[in-house]
């Protein structure tokens, strides 16, 4: 397994956030940068998990990434997913993922991740020994626009009385775009700080956040160090290119869907008009029949006279 506990690499030891100014070159919500940050700095990974799970530092002894990648290595955008799978305290599985683009499948996708993670029994173990599993998505969009929420957590509950069926399954969603909806509890655990960090666009914003929280400060320094490494930067830029292509494709699909909807509406309108014309033709035929009957009756009367 790759080492995931190193804080900085030798060639970036003297690179610090203090010298950073202006716009960030890599968006903070870049999913490759997110993965690199958590894999490079174990203390940041632990701090983020403590915030998201509302735990104190003493409650988390170990956090180990179970699916590390070789940072800087080229990835296949079509088949590679950058979810971070973590084993906490050797007794709980956590799946973290930064999702930049709304592909309209997050509900199903997150459930797949959660179920795969929950299926963790080893040969010979009893069902009661299964480890809890937690799925956490950090989304750069609002999952349910009709019911927006900054940080939502879902459990496995009875639909009638809300009794908890099991506390071994849990799914959370952090909406990076709605820090305005952060509750007092969210703020108490500095979840809003993390969201603000991942949405920051300038180093000045990041340095201001770093002054408020030591773990955010360490994360900010690590992000800056990573942004100076060419291999990491190239992979982050490749992900940005991927996002742009996906956005263009999504817009094209939206345009196609819009045109198909308009065509369908026009076809419905034509069908409605055809139906109206058919009704009018039936009415005309009926009137013609009535006229013919009246003419026949009139001719009969004339003949009798």
Q: What's the confidence (pLDDT) of residue 78?
A: 54
Query: What confidence score (pLDDT) does residue 181 get?
Result: 98
What pLDDT digit, counting tens, does each position of 73-121 carry?
A: 877 655 456 799 999 999 999 999 999 989 899 999 999 999 999 999 9
For residue 18, give both structure tokens. 């203090």
Closest CA to 91 of 57, 130, 127, 46: 130
Over the stretch 280-302, which tens digit does the pLDDT of each residue have? 999 999 999 999 999 888 888 88
Check whether 15 has a pLDDT greater than 90. Answer: no
If pLDDT is split at 50, 70 and 90, which confidence band does 13 have? very low
- Tokens coding 93: 């599985």
In a 3-state reduction of DSSP, which class is residue 140? coil
| Mean pLDDT in residue range 6-10 | 41
Helix (H) or strand (E) holding 138: strand 133-139
154 beta partners: 171
Confidence of residue 197 (pLDDT cuts 50, 70, 90): very high
Residues 179 and 189: their CA atoms lie apart, in Å, by 13
**pTM for this prediction:** 0.77
Spell out the alpha helix ranges (H) of 164-229.
184-188, 191-199, 203-210, 214-227
pLDDT higher for 175 or 256?
175
pLDDT at 10: 36
CB 99 within 8 A of CB 138: yes
pLDDT of residue 65: 97
């Amino acid at each position: 397994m790759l080492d995931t506990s190193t804080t900085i690499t030798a060639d970036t030891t003297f690179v610090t956030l203090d010298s950073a100014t202006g716009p960030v070159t890599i968006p903070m919500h870049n999913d490759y940068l997110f993965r690199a940050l958590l894999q490079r700095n174990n203390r940041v990974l632990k701090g983020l998990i403590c915030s998201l799970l509302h735990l104190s530092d003493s409650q988390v002894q170990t956090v180990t990434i179970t699916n590390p990648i070789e940072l800087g290595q080229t990835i296949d955008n079509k088949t590679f997913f950058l979810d971070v799978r973590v084993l906490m305290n050797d007794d709980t599985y956590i799946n973290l993922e930064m999702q930049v683009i709304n592909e309209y499948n997050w509900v199903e996708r997150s459930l797949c991740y959660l179920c795969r993670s929950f299926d963790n029994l080893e040969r010979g173990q009893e069902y009661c020994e299964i480890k809890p599993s937690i799925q956490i998505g950090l989304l750069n969009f609002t999952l349910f626009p009709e019911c927006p929420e900054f940080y939502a957590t879902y459990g496995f509950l009875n639909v009638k009385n809300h009794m908890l069926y099991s506390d071994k399954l849990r799914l959370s969603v952090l909406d990076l775009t709605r820090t305005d909806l952060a509750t007092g509890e969210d703020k108490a655990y500095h979840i809003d700080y993390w969201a603000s960090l991942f949405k920051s666009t300038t180093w000045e914003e990041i340095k201001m956040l770093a002054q408020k929280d030591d773990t955010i400060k360490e994360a900010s320094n690590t992000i800056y160090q990573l942004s100076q490494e060419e291999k990491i930067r190239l992979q982050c830029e490749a992900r940005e290119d991927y996002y742009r292509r996906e956005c263009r494709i999504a817009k094209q699909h939206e345009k196609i869907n819009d045109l198909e909807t308009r065509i369908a509406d026009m076809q419905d309108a034509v069908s409605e008009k055809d139906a109206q014309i058919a009704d009018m033709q039936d009415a005309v035929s009926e009137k013609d029949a009535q006229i013919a009957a009246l003419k026949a009756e009139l001719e009969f009367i004339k003949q009798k006279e």
